[in-house]
């Protein structure tokens, strides 16, 4: 499918799913604003883009707060003029590099839980809210919300009680936002899930 002359904003764009999506969009001819909290990973994404780099803009920003979401939206519109879609990929578990996977609920601190809520709920809410007026004004815009299979059950190999509690939100967002945005569920298997099968 050609996405020539279309432009998209992707959050967590320097990670696994986000990075793969950015590459697919660039290969299809689209322009992409790639947002991530890691400048180092964004630099690696730019390198990976190679000759397609002219259609890639990167922005180091935390989209889990209102100001960051506004900055990302402004940067994307300023760079491309019109946006055709948003991929809310940002999410995860606070402290993922630590021993937090499968941690019981009584060992998850309030701070870890609140950061997980920010990552999985606030990021998509603030980004979508920031872009809906732009989409409405053009009578077009698509939003993709990425969630874990943890949204559908507490899988030991996928998270912990805090993470699993926040993951139904992307699925319910699709229903809650449906009158404005519509919905079409799909699945991207993650290597961790495939190993557990």
Q: Give all strands (DSSP E) within the chain, no chain letters.
A: 7-10, 31-36, 56-60, 85-88, 142-145
Cα pseudo-dihedral 2, 137, 82, 13, rounded to 10: -80
State how far Cα 179 lies from the chain centre: 21
The mean pLDDT value of the chain amounts to 80
- Per-residue model confidence (pLDDT) at position 92: 74
Number of neighbouring beta carbons within 10 Å of residue 103: 19
Per-residue DSSP letter, 106: G
- Residue range 64-73: average pLDDT? 96
Q: Is the pTM of this model over 0.85?
A: no
Give pLDDT, residue 140.
92
Give the model confidence (pLDDT) of 148-161 as tens digits.
655 555 555 455 55
Instruction: State residue 153's pLDDT score.
Output: 55
Q: Which of 49-53, 62-66, 173-177 has the weakest average pLDDT?
A: 173-177
Instruction: Assess contact for 63 and 69: CB atoms under 8 A.
Output: yes
**Dihedral-angle region of residue 97 (phi above 0 means left; psi in -120 to 50 means alpha; beta otherwise):** alpha
Which CATH code is given to the segment(s) 7-196? 3.40.50.720
When pLDDT is averaged across residues 163-184 and rounded to a whole number, the result is 53
Note the pLDDT tens digit of each residue in 74-133: 999 999 999 999 999 988 776 655 555 566 778 878 888 888 888 888 999 999 999 999
> Is 6 in contact with 84 (CB distance < 8 Å)?
yes
Say yes or no to pLDDT of 186 above 80.
no
């Amino acid at each position: 499918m050609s996405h020539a002359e279309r432009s998209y904003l992707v959050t967590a764009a320097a990670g696994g799913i986000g990075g793969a999506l950015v590459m697919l969009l660039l290969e299809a001819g689209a322009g992409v604003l790639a947002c991530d909290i890691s400048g180092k990973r964004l630099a690696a994404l730019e390198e990976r883009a190679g000759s397609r780099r002219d259609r890639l803009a990167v922005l180091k920003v935390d989209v889990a707060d209102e100001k960051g979401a506004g900055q990302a939206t402004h940067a994307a519109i300023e760079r491309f003029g019109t946006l055709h879609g948003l991929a809310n990929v940002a999410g995860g578990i606070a402290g993922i590099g630590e021993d937090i996977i499968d941690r019981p609920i009584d060992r998850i601190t309030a701070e870890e839980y609140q950061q997980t809520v920010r990552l999985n709920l606030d990021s998509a809410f603030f980004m979508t809210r920031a872009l809906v007026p732009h989409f409405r004004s053009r009578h077009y815009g698509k939003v993709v919300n990425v969630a874990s299979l943890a949204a559908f059950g507490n899988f030991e190999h996928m998270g912990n009680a805090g993470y699993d509690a926040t993951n139904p939100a992307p699925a319910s967002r699709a229903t809650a936002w449906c009158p404005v945005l519509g919905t079409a569920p799909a699945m991207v298997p993650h290597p961790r899930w495939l190993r557990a099968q």
